[in-house]
Amino acid sequence: MPESNEREYQVVYEINVSSHFDGAHRLYDYDGKCARVHGHSWKVDVRLMSDSLNEQGMVCDFHDLKKILHDVVDDYDHILINDVEPFKKLSPTAENLSRVIYERLVTELENAGLTTLLAQVTVHESGNASATYYENQRADR
C-alpha cells in the first residue's frame, strides 16, 4: 500500500478571556509567610475549545463568556477568600482556586446553554506565578 502524504488532523478553535479580582488569603498548614493574611491582585484566564462554531461563526460570544467569568470571580473580590466556601476548610492556593473556578464555570456555562468545552482555567497570583487546572478528556468516554 503506498504511503500517503496527507496528514489527518482535527480542527480546533480556541478562545480566551481574562478577568481579575483583588483578594486576600492565608494558606492552611503552611510553614512560611503565606500562613499570614496577605493579598494579591489575582488574574484569571479562561480558555474554551471547540471543533465547531455556532451560527454566528463563534465558539462563544466573548461578551457572554466575560460576563460569566466576571460573575464567578466577583465572589472573591475585596474579601478574605478564606471566609468563602469551600475555602473555609480548603486552603485557598492558586491551584485550588483554579479548580474551584473551573468547576463553577462548567456549571455556569451549562446554565447559559453553552455546551462548549471548557479547556482550562489559569489563576495568576502575581505577574510571575500561576496555576492551571484542566481535565483531560479520556478516549473511552
The three-state (H, E, C) secondary structure of 107-119, written as one string: HHHHHCCCCCEEE
Instruction: List the catalytic residue out of 38, 78, 110, 135.
Output: 78
Q: DSSP string of 42-58?
A: EEEEEEEEESS--TTS-
Which candidate in 20, 34, 70, 103 is catalytic?
Answer: 34
- Does the annotation mark 78 as catalytic? yes
The answer to whether 94 touches 126, Cβ cutoff 8 Å, is no
Is-contact 44 125, C-beta < 8 A? no
Nearest Cα neighbor of 25 from 8, 7, 39, 11 is 39
| DSSP assignments along 64-105, one per residue | HHHHHHHHHHGGGTTSBGGGSTTTTTS---HHHHHHHHHHHH
Determine whether 95 is an active site residue. Answer: no
125 flagged as catalytic: yes
Q: Give the active site residue among 40, 60, 124, 125.
A: 125
Active site residues: 34, 78, 125
